[in-house]
Amino acid sequence: MSKWLIPVLTSGALLAGCATNPHGSIPVVESGSSITEEQEGGPVYQAQAPAAGPAVQALPEDSGVVVMVPQQSSSRIYPAGETPLSGTVDAQPATSSGIVPGPVTDGSSSYAPSSSYSPPGHDGSSSYTPPVASAPSGIPQSGSLAADEQLDGPVLALLTTAQQQQGSGDLNGAASSLERAQRIAPREPQVLYRLAEVRLAQGDAAQAEQVAQRALTYAGGRPTLQASLWELIAQARERQGNAAGAAQARERARVSL
Amino acid sequence: MTRSRSPRSSRSRGRRGSSGIGRWLGWALKLGLVGLVLLAGFAVYLDAVVQEKFSGKRWTIPAKVYARPLELFVGQKLSKEDFLTELDALGYRRESAASGPGAVALAGNQVELHTRGFQFYEGAEPAQRIRVRFSGDYVAGLSQANGAELAVARLEPLLIGGLYPAHNEDRILIQLDQVPPYLVETLLAVEDRDFYKHHGVSLKSIVRALWVNTTSGQVRQGGSTLTQQLVKNFYLSNERSLVRKLNEAMMAVLLELHYDKQEILEAYLNEVFLGQDGNRAVHGFGLASQYFFSQPLAELKLHQVALLVGMVKGPTYYNPRRYPERALARRNLVLDMLAEQGVVSAEVAASAKQQPLGVSQRGSLANSSYPAFLDLVKRQLRQDYREEDLTEEGLRIFTSFDPILQSKAEAALAQTFKSMAGRKGIEQVEAAMVVTNPETGEIQAMIGSRQPRFAGFNRALDAVRPIGSLVKPAVYLTALERPSQYTLTSWLVDEPFSVKGQDGQVWRPQNYDRRAHGTIYLYQGLANSYNLSTAKLGLEVGVPTVLKTLERLGVSRSWPAFPSMLLGAGALTPVEVATMYQTIANGGFNTPLRAIRNVLTADGQPLKRYPFQVQQRFDPGAIYLVQTAMQRVMSEGTGRSVYNQLPRSLNLAGKTGTSNDSRDSWFAGFSQDLLAVVWMGRDDNGPTPLTGATGALQVWTGFMRRADPLPLNMPMPDNVVMAWVDAATGQGSAAGCPNAVQMPYIRGSEPAPGPACGQTPADTVMDWVRGWLN
C-alpha cells in the first residue's frame, strides 16, 4: 500500500523541504574550534616512545628468584621468567643467614587438618554449597577458622558477599569483592586467606600460595589462622606438583596449632 | 541528484496540463511517468539507508574511565572536607534534606545523602539514603536514613575520561524515561511545537518561520522539524544546498513512516550536538548534562534544562562557560517561551530565571583532566584490547585513581614551585610524581608534568633518569640479607678509596659534602647517604649481587655491573622507582603496579579483571631492617626536614636521591598506606638548583602533610629480635644501662647481651649528683 504513498509523500516532502530554513536546525560538529581552557597556551611535548610500558603492567612476572621464607624450612623456586638469575638459585635453606624460625607454639595440640578441613571449590565445580547469609557468625565457614577471629562490619559484610558469589560459582566476583575488602583492611589476614582460597579454586595455585604467604606475615599470634594458611599452602603446592613442599607446609600447619 | 528535480517540475506542470495542448500533455505525462519511476527508485534507496542505520547500532560509544568509588565505612580515615569535595565533584546538590538521588544535606558533623546507585564489577550498588557521621578525620557512624545499620556503602565513581579517537563524538546514552521533567516539553516548545502532529515535515512551522523571519527582517526561526534535524545530523553531511534539504525532507518522512515519535525523540536527545571539548564533540543531553553540570540528566532542574535546550540553536555561540551572558539571555528567553506557551506558570519561569547558570567550573575536581594517569590506563588497555573496541563499544573501565589524593599531590607540587619562585634556573625545572598504595600495588595518583593539566610528555612513565642515591637501599638490603656478616650496627668505614674498573678507568667516589666520616654504623651510611661507605659495602657484597637485588625488587633493566651503579648511575622512570620501593614497603613482596581494577561491558556485564598479584622476593626480616634504616633517613638523616612539617609520631621511611651536578632531584618514601615518588629535573638534563632534599622531598612532604597518612608499622617478622646495644660502641647492653638503645636484629645476629647495669640512667645521674654533693 505504501508503494504509491512513498512518491506522493516524498514529493510533498520535497516541496516542504525546499522551503525550510536552514537555520535553527541542529548545528553540526565544529571540530576545529576548541572551547577548553586547557588546550591553550601550554607547551606541547613530543612524547617519547612509550618505553616505560613494561614498567607499568608488563613487569616481568618473576625472575626466577629464590626466596628463603623464614617461616618455612625450605626455600622455593619461583616459576622462572625469561631472565632467570641462576646466581641466586639456592635449593637449600639459606645457610649464610642462619635464620632459625622460631616455633610459634608448642605444637602439642592434636590437630589433623586434612581430615577436618577442605577448602571449597577445588575443581571449580558447583559442588561447594555456599553458607546462607543468615549465618550470624559471619564468614568463617570453612571449618578451621575459629570464632576467635573478630572482624568488624565492612570486612565481614564483604567477606559474606564474596562467599555468596563464590558459592554461586562467580569466582571472579568473589575475588573482586575480596580485593575490595583488602583495600578496606589491607592487613587483615582473613581477607587474604579467603582470596588465596578463591585463587586456588580458580586454578591459580601459585598465586594462592603467594597470597597465603603474605597473609602469614600478618597472622602473628593467630595460630588457628596460621594453621589454615599452611594447610592452604600445602594444597597449593600439591597442585603445583610439589609434594615435599606440601608435606613441609602440613608440618607447619600442625606446629602452628 | 538532478533526477529528483525533474519529477517535481513535471508533476507541477502535469497539474496545469489539463488546460494545455494535447501534445504538451503527452510529453509531460511521459516525462512525469519517468520521473515518478526514478523518484520511486530513489525513495526506495533512501528508505533502505534510513532503515539500515536506524535499526542497527546507532552510535559507537568511546570507553569511559572511572576513578575509584569512594567507600564509606565506620573507622575509615576520611575528613568531612574531603568527603564534601568528592560529593561536589559528583554533582551532589546541597539541600535542606536529601530528598532524592544526588542530594546531600549537612547538619554539623553529620552528612545525609541520597546516593545514585551504580553497576560495579562486584555487583549493583543500590541508590539509597544514608547518613555519615564524622569525628575528627574519621567516619564515626554510617547508617541508612531510617537508622538501620550499614556496614559499607560506596558512592558512584567519578568519570575521569574516555578513550576517544581523534575527532570523535562522545555521548552518554539515555532513554526517554530517564529524562528530567520539562526536558521534552521545553525541547518541543522551542524547536518543534507540532512534533506530535506532523509526519516528518511541517508546513505549518515552515510558514511560521517564514512569517517570523520576513517580519523581523532577520533569520530568527527555523522551520525544520526535530525529525529533519535528526536526519540532517544522522545521515547527511554539513553541506548546505537545496538538494540536501530535499534529501533531508524525504528521509524525514521515511523515518516517520517506520518509527514512532517516541523512538525518534529518544534518538534526537542522544544525537544532538551540544558542545565541543577539544577533539571531543559532546553529543546528546546525557553527556551534556555531565559535561556542563557534572550531574546525571535525570536530576536537572528547569533552569538547567532550559539552558541545554537553548544551546541546541548554537552550542558554540551559547557556550555557557565561554559566553555566560549570551547563554543566560538565551536560557531566560527559553523560559519566557515556556511561560508564553503555558508549559510552566509565569511564577515558575520567573523563579527559574533567578537561578545562576550553575555550570561546573573547569579545573574543579568535577571537571579536570588527568592526562598522566589516563595515559597509563590507555597504554594498559591498548595491550589488551583492539583500538576499535576501546573507542566504539562503550566499555566501562574502573581504575584505582583517587581524585582527592591527586589534587593533594598537585597542590603540593604547585606550592613547592611557588615557594621556589625566583631561584635561579627553577623555571626550567620539570617534575613528575607517582602515588601508590604499598599494600595493594594500586596507583592512586600520577603527575607527568609541572603543569598537570597538559597532556604530552608523561615524565612519570617516560622520563628515564639516573636515580642517584635512590639505589642505596638495594645495596644495604643485599648486605642485610647476610645477617652473619652484616647487621644495622656493623661498622663501616667511610674513607676515600679508588677501584679500577673493567674498562681500566679508575673510579673514585666522593661524598656529597666532600668529607670522609670515619667509622660509622651500617645504618648511618644509608641514613646520611654517604657515598664512600655505601660504595665500599656494595663492592664487598658484589656489584652483580646488588644488581640482582634490584631485579628482585622489580627493576627490569640490564645494567652493566659497573661500580658506579652502586651510587645510582643507572636510570629509571618514576614509575619504575615506585615499583622498586613498593617491594620494600610491602614487606618484600613484589606487586606489579596496577591502575585498572576491572572492565565492564556497556550493559554492565563483567568483562575483565586485573587481579591483585603478589610474589615474595625477600626475607621479611631483611626488609624489616632496611625499613628501619630508611626510617633513620627520616628521623636523623638526609630526609629529616620532613619533620619540620610533620609530627614526629608519624613514622615514615624513605630515601633522597641526587644525581651528578644536581641534574635530578628524587625522593621516594612511604608510610603504612601511601607510597610516593617525586622526581624533579630539566628535560634537557641540565643542572638544577635542587638536591633530593631541597627539591623532591619538599613536594613529598607537602603531599604527605595534606594526605595525612598512617604511620609506618611493619609487623615484626618472626626471625627478628630487638636487642639492647650501647649506642656508642655497638656492643650488647641491657635495658636501663647508660647509652642503651634498642635495635632490631635477625635472630642469632644480635650482639651478646651485656651485663645488667642494675640501675636506670636516672639513677646514674642521681649517683653522680649525690657524689658531687658529698
Instruction: Note the pTM of the prediction, 2 decimals.
Output: 0.79
Q: Which residue has the cell 519517468?
A: B34
- Whose CA is closest to B281, among B234, B315, B304? B315
Query: So what's the pLDDT on residue A107?
Result: 32
CA distance B361 to B39: 52
Stretch B28-51: mean pLDDT: 86
Nearest chain A residue to B451, by CA? A42
Candidate from A35-44, B556-565, B617-626 with smallest mean pLDDT? A35-44
Chosen domain end from B676, B707, B738: B707
Query: So what's the pLDDT on residue A146?
Result: 43
Q: Which residue has the higher pLDDT, B48 or B322?
A: B322
Nearest chain B residue to A68, by CA? B619
Whether B556 sits inside 8 A of A158 (CB atoms) is no
Q: Are residues B669 and B748 in the same domain?
A: no
Whether B224 sits inside 8 A of A156 (CB atoms) is no
Is B397 within the bounds of a domain?
no
C-alpha cell at B736: 636501663
CA distance A150 to B62: 45
Q: Are residues B120 and B214 in the same domain?
A: no
B residues 150-169 lying closer than 8 A (beta carbon) to A? 151-152, 167, 169
| Strand order across the B273-277 sheet | B168-171, B280-283, B273-277
Residues of A in contact with B216 (CB under 8 A): none
Candidate from A18-22, B639-643, B740-744 with smallest mean pLDDT? A18-22
Whether A17 sits inside 8 A of B47 (CB atoms) is no
B618: DSSP letter: S
Q: Are residues B10 and B70 in the same domain?
A: no
CA distances from B98 to A120, B92, B93, B94, B146 (A): 44, 10, 9, 8, 13
Please name the member of B485, B612, B747 whose beta carbon is closest to the beta carbon of A99: B747
Is B377 within the bounds of a domain?
no
Residues of B in contact with A49 (CB under 8 A): 462
C-alpha cell at B245: 534539504
Please name the member of A48, A173, A211 whose beta carbon is closest to the beta carbon of B462: A48
The CATH number covering residue B171 comes to 1.10.3810.10
* DSSP-derived pairing of the beta strands B63-66 and B396-399: parallel
* pLDDT per residue as tens digits for the range B323-354: 999 999 999 999 999 999 999 999 999 999 99
**Confidence bin at B767 (pLDDT 50/70/90):** low
Are A13 and B253 a contacting pair, CB within 8 Å?
Answer: yes
Stretch B555-576: mean pLDDT: 94
Q: Are residues B689 and B752 in the same domain?
A: no
Whether A13 sits inside 8 A of B200 (CB atoms) is yes
C-alpha cell at B226: 526535530
CB atoms near residue B644 (< 10 Å)? 7
Query: With an 8 Å Cβ cutoff, is A23 touching chain B?
Result: yes
SS3 state at B535: helix
Q: Are residues B141 and B68 in the same domain?
A: yes
- Which residues of B are marked as active site? 191, 469
**Confidence bin at B392 (pLDDT 50/70/90):** confident
Whether B248 sits inside 8 A of A17 (CB atoms) is yes
Is B376 within the bounds of a domain?
no
Is B467 within the bounds of a domain?
yes
Instruction: Report the run of H or E that residue B304 belongs to, with start and end.
Output: helix B302-311
- pLDDT at residue B3 is higher than 90: no
Query: So what's the pLDDT on residue B570?
Result: 95
* pLDDT per residue as tens digits for the range B496-533: 999 987 677 889 999 999 999 999 999 999 999 999 99
CA distance B545 to B479: 10
Query: So what's the pLDDT on residue B399?
Result: 98
Is B403 within the bounds of a domain?
no
Q: Mutating which of A10, A44, A96, A183 best tests the B interface, going by the most B Cβ atoms within 10 A? A: A10
Query: So what's the pLDDT on residue B370?
Result: 93
Are B656 and B691 a contacting pair, CB within 8 Å?
Answer: yes
Chosen domain end from B339, B365, B391: B365
Quote the domain boundaries for residue B739: 720-773
Is B634 within the bounds of a domain?
yes
Whether B312 sits inside 8 A of A23 (CB atoms) is no
Whether A59 sits inside 8 A of B611 (CB atoms) is no
SS3 state at B192: coil
Stretch B419-435: mean pLDDT: 93
Reported ipTM: the value is 0.86
Q: Are residues B726 and B661 in the same domain?
A: no
State how far residue B514 is from chain A, nearest Cα, in angstroms.
35
Query: Which residues, at least 6 apart from B262, have a Cβ–Cβ distance to it below 8 Å?
Result: B176
Query: So what's the pLDDT on residue A125?
Result: 35
B732: DSSP letter: B
Query: With an 8 Å Cβ cutoff, is B199 touching chain A?
Result: yes
pLDDT > 90 fraction of chain B, expressed in percent and rounded: 68
Q: Are residues B191 and B308 in the same domain?
A: yes
* pLDDT per residue as tens digits for the range B442-487: 999 999 999 998 888 999 999 999 999 999 999 999 999 999 999 9
CA distance B764 to A121: 65
Q: Are residues B573 and B488 in the same domain?
A: yes
- Whose CA is closest to A214, among B589, B314, B126? B589
State how far residue B617 is from chain A, nearest Cα, in angstroms.
6
Query: With an 8 Å Cβ cutoff, is B682 touching chain A?
Result: no
Q: Mutating which of A18, A36, A73 best tests the B interface, going by the most B Cβ atoms within 10 A? A: A36
Query: So what's the pLDDT on residue B651?
Result: 97
Chosen domain end from B297, B331, B365: B365
Q: Which residue has the cell 590507555?
A: B378
CA distance B265 to B270: 9
Q: Are residues B438 and B504 in the same domain?
A: yes
**Confidence bin at A22 (pLDDT 50/70/90):** very low
* pLDDT per residue as tens digits for the range A111-158: 333 333 333 333 333 333 333 333 333 344 443 344 445 677 899 999
> What is the four-CA torsion angle of B1, B3, B6, B11, rounded to 10 degrees?
-110
Query: So what's the pLDDT on residue B19?
Result: 60
**Confidence bin at B599 (pLDDT 50/70/90):** very high
Query: So what's the pLDDT on residue A50?
Result: 38
The H-assigned helical ranges of B192-283 are 203-216, 226-235, 242-258, 261-271
State how far residue A90 is from chain B, nearest Cα, in angstroms.
13
Please write down the HEC assignment for all residues of chain A: CHHHHHHHHHHHHHHHHHHCCCCCCCCCCCCCCCCCHHHCCCCCCCCCCCCCHHHHCCCCCCCCCEECCCCCCCCEECCCCCCCCHHHCCCCCCCCCCCCCCCCCCCCCCCCHHHHCCCCCCCCCCCCCCCCCCCCCCCCCCCCCCCCCCCCHHHHHHHHHHHHHHHCCCHHHHHHHHHHHHHHCCCCHHHHHHHHHHHHHCCCHHHHHHHHHHHHHCCCCCHHHHHHHHHHHHHHHHHCCCHHHHHHHHHHHHHHC
**Confidence bin at B425 (pLDDT 50/70/90):** confident
Query: So what's the pLDDT on residue A150?
Result: 66
Query: With an 8 Å Cβ cutoff, is A144 touching chain B?
Result: no
Q: Which of B417-431, B488-502, B672-686 has the highest mean pLDDT?
A: B672-686
Please name the member of B222, B363, B598 whose beta carbon is closest to the beta carbon of A23: B222
Whether A56 sits inside 8 A of B250 (CB atoms) is no
Is B713 within the bounds of a domain?
no
Stretch B373-396: mean pLDDT: 92
Query: So what's the pLDDT on residue B642?
Result: 97
* DSSP-derived pairing of the beta strands B118-120 and B123-125: antiparallel
- pLDDT at residue B738 is higher than 90: no
Whether B223 sits inside 8 A of A24 (CB atoms) is yes
Query: So what's the pLDDT on residue B247?
Result: 82
Q: What is the mean pLDDT of chain B?
A: 90
Query: So what's the pLDDT on residue B346?
Result: 95
Amino acid at position B602, single letter: A
Q: Are residues B433 and B545 in the same domain?
A: yes
Stretch A43-68: mean pLDDT: 37
Amino acid at position B767, single letter: D
DSSP string for residues in B369-402: --HHHHHHHHHHHHHHS-HHHHHHB--EEEE---
**Confidence bin at B308 (pLDDT 50/70/90):** very high
Residues of B in contact with A47 (CB under 8 A): 456-458, 462
Stretch B240-249: mean pLDDT: 78
Whether B152 sits inside 8 A of A158 (CB atoms) is yes
SS3 state at B234: helix
The CATH number covering residue B156 comes to 3.30.2060.10
**Confidence bin at B765 (pLDDT 50/70/90):** low
CA distance B253 to B103: 43
Residues of B in contact with A85 (CB under 8 A): 548, 551-552
CA distance B353 to B306: 10
**Confidence bin at B43 (pLDDT 50/70/90):** confident
Q: Mutating which of B719, B720, B746 best tests the A interface, going by the most A Cβ atoms within 10 A? A: B719
Q: Are residues B532 and B621 in the same domain?
A: yes
Q: Are residues B457 and B525 in the same domain?
A: yes
How many domains would you assign to chain B? 5
Whether A14 sits inside 8 A of B246 (CB atoms) is yes
CB atoms near residue B550 (< 10 Å)? 24
Is B406 within the bounds of a domain?
no
Q: Which residue has the higher pLDDT, B199 or B446?
A: B446
- pLDDT at residue B245 is higher than 50: yes
**Confidence bin at B192 (pLDDT 50/70/90):** confident
Query: So what's the pLDDT on residue A64?
Result: 35
State how far residue A150 is from chain B, nearest Cα, in angstroms.
15
B residues 514-543 lying closer than 8 A (beta carbon) to A? none
The CATH number covering residue B630 comes to 3.40.710.10
Whether B7 sits inside 8 A of A175 (CB atoms) is no
Candidate from A59-68, B103-112, B281-290, B639-648 with smallest mean pLDDT? A59-68
> What is the four-CA torsion angle of B498, B502, B504, B510, rounded to 10 degrees?
-30
B214 exposed, middle or buried (CB, 10 Å; 0-12, 13-18, 19+)? exposed
Query: So what's the pLDDT on residue B198?
Result: 87
CB atoms near residue B767 (< 10 Å)? 11
Stretch A76-88: mean pLDDT: 35
